[in-house]
Structure 1
Amino acid sequence: MDSNEKEETSDVGTRMREEMALTQLDLKDVSDLPPSLIVTNVPASVFVDPVEKDNFAELFRQIDDNIHFEYFRSFKRVRMTFSSPQTATAARLYCDHLTFNGQTLKTFFAQKLDMPKATANDADHYLNVPPLEKQFLISPPASPPVGWEQQREMDPVVCSFDLMARLAAFAVADTTYEVHPGTDQHPAIIVHPADKDEIPDPETPYSGGSRKIPHTPRPPAESISTA
């Protein structure tokens, strides 16, 4: 920044302080406004040049000495948190559409964040951490509804004796039984259990006998031409 730009910045700061003194009564009713501003269309040199960054910060420090700056290079924006809503409002009024290094700055109030204070009853409104043990829990939904409670799954079944007993009850009967009764339009389905002698041994390999491969017959000798 050359001497002319420094004088211009100094004149802007002087004009800001003078106008703030004249409108001090008007800034008393801005306590509901947030103390933070977002400045857009910031020149790229502010994010890479320390001198330009200091000149940019000095432009707002003439209004409030206690400012916290957050630079967002990808968005070409700067977030500033002032000591009071009054100084933030003054910077919003006097720095909006201000030209800095050939760029017209635009200022907006940042969203005011009201963080609730932690109380002793907060544990009643949030899900509690499960105890430190081997868990087999159902994952909670993304947005648990009111009254949702954590349910515990059954432990993994390694060997279910009840299931084995039920499977053993399905023994092969000696007589035929009808699975589905027949109608005038559909036949009946009847199961005929095989005899024990007809059931192959699973440990005995299957032997289907040797298969004879048919050979192609030789053509007649008369049809074979001699060289």
Structure 2
Amino acid sequence: MQQPRDRARPDEATVDVHFAALPDALIACRVAEPVFADPRVKESFEALFRSFDGAASFQFFKSFRRVRINFQDTVAAAEARVRLHKSDFNGKELRLYFAQTLHIGSPRLEPPKPDKQFLISPPASPPVGWEQAQDATPVINYDLLCAISKLGPGEKYELHAGTPTTPSVVVHVCESEQDSSGGEEDEARPRPRIIQTRRPEYAGPAQH
């Protein structure tokens, strides 16, 4: 574990950070373009590091102009870094850095805590302390029902008087079915019959 240079204050939260003490890989930065395009230059580049470890493997990242060199042991990686760092290769200075492995807290990727799992629809399980809400009792305005019951067909009852800025609220009682239909004469009148459209005769396939 690498110790920080400055001691943390007592009131500050500390984070458990672990570094690999002896890395077994190097990162080559600002690698020349021919290393990615010319097979001969690429072979020469790999030969530099295989002189320290014959089983070294390489990962080329052309977009970033970087190459990761993986060694079998940390001693070979350290020796290659000491001897080849800032050396000249294909007319450019070669820069090598150790590939540090950083772990915060735990070296494993832990799943998130299910603190807000109840937000998933449908929820996997209700949160702690959650209770089913009871439906409220409907509000019945008995005064309104009493006033309407005293009204006759066609009469109205004003709930709220209108103001210059708001309209009035008035309840109208529907007329009886007999009054709205026009009396007994309308009941005796026969209802019109709906005549369906006749289907055309089928003439059959045309003869050629």
TM-score of the two chains, using structure 2 as the length reference: 0.49
Tell me which protein shows more strand as a share of its residues.
2
